[in-house]
Amino acid sequence: MSETVVKFGILGCAEIARKKAAKFAADNGFPPGTRAYGSYDAVLDDPEVDAVYVPLPTSLHAKWAVLAAQKKKHLLLEKPVALNVAEFDRIVEACVANGVQFMDGTMWMHHPRTAKMKEFLSNERAFGKLTAMHTCFTFAADPDFLEEDIRVKPDLDALGALGDAGWYCTRSILWGNDYELPKTVTALRGPIFNKAGVILSCGASLYWEDGKVATFHCSFLSHLTMDITAVGTKGTLHVHDFIIPYQESEASFSVASESGFDELVTGWVPKPSEHLVSTSLPQEALMVKEFSSLVGAIKAGGSRPEMKWPIISRKTQLVIDAVTLSIARGFEPVEVVG
């Protein structure tokens, strides 16, 4: 049985002329027949386009994602998915009403390492029950980024570092908690804003009714760090490059289980073990492959959109919204209502 072909359109680079778009496609090995459109509307109006990837500034997501869904285009939307959950709900409603697949662009979710790490977290003998998670994503942006990048512009990406780096941290915490929403979220004191009021650095603590806790820190102002620590009653997981692996073809994580001190309290027994996961495709390609598989099944008939993905995106957005509200309320705890 032949594989269903899924044709993509990309809503991006609106400022470049059609000739420049055509040159970009040629220079980057796009297949013959690739079209360069003069407008976003032209992409959405093309009946041969099955799905669109939307890497536009967050402030434009609601408009163009809804229009894409209304034009029956399946939607791969960059994160953060919206400025707030109310905007995102409009996007999902349009997707559901038009029977199109939604997925956000959190690429590390699709790396085979992620599934392997989840196996450890789900192993009650080796890991026990989750008690705490701590995540961090920071990078030291250069002066040009801090002045000109869309992620520091209030009219383009008003969530700043929280929406960009904080999205990954929040998603990893929810992933570790089987997507159970926290009871409350409290922003940590001392966020840093630029002169336009956009967040450059911030953090938050999350609390669950059963006693689990989590914290995250995200920043455009600190050295490149991409860490997850998950602590259970019997084990611990560490990963230091969870968003973009050190190498494209393989990625590692370490685990410790029922560790203690040796007799003289001079070392660990047993020591943590390192686990290496190889992949023949980069995580970005695996993300597109999974999305295309879902779209292809719908296109071929007999399948409905997989709702897991918009549900996960919505929960991530809810936590981001709670952090924003906690900052606005002077770092008070904010209850998360799903």
Using CA atoms, how far residue 86 sits from 20, 34, 288, 318, in Å, is: 36, 35, 26, 10
In this prediction, residue 186 carries a pLDDT of 98
Average pLDDT over the chain reads: 94
Range 214-235 average pLDDT:
98
Of the pLDDT bands very low, low, confident and very high (cuts 50, 70, 90), residue 258 is very high
Q: Report the distance separating Cα 247 and Cα 77, nearest Å.
A: 25
What is the rounded CA–CA span in Å between residue 272 and residue 257? 7
pLDDT at residue number 34: 81
Write out pLDDT tens, residues 274-324: 999 999 999 999 999 999 999 999 999 889 999 999 999 999 999 999 999
Confirm if 320 and 163 have CB atoms less than 8 A apart: yes
Report helix, strand or coil for 42. Answer: helix
pTM for this prediction: 0.94
- Percent of the chain clearing pLDDT 90 (strictly above): 89
DSSP state of 111: S
Sorting pLDDT into bands at 50, 70 and 90, what band is 18?
low
254 falls in which pLDDT band (50, 70, 90)? very high
Reported as type and span, the H/E element at residue 314 is helix 308-328
C-alpha 286/C-alpha 226 separation (Å) is: 20
157, 172 in Cβ contact below 8 A?
A: no
pLDDT value of residue 32: 77
Cα–Cα distance measured from residue 227 to residue 57, given in angstroms and rounded to the nearest whole number: 26
Q: Among all chains, which residue has been given the structure tokens 């008939």?
A: 301
3-class state of residue 261 by DSSP: strand
| Position 202 pLDDT exceeds 70 | yes
Kindly state the tokens that stand for 144: 């040009």
pLDDT tens for 93-116 read: 999 999 999 999 999 999 999 999
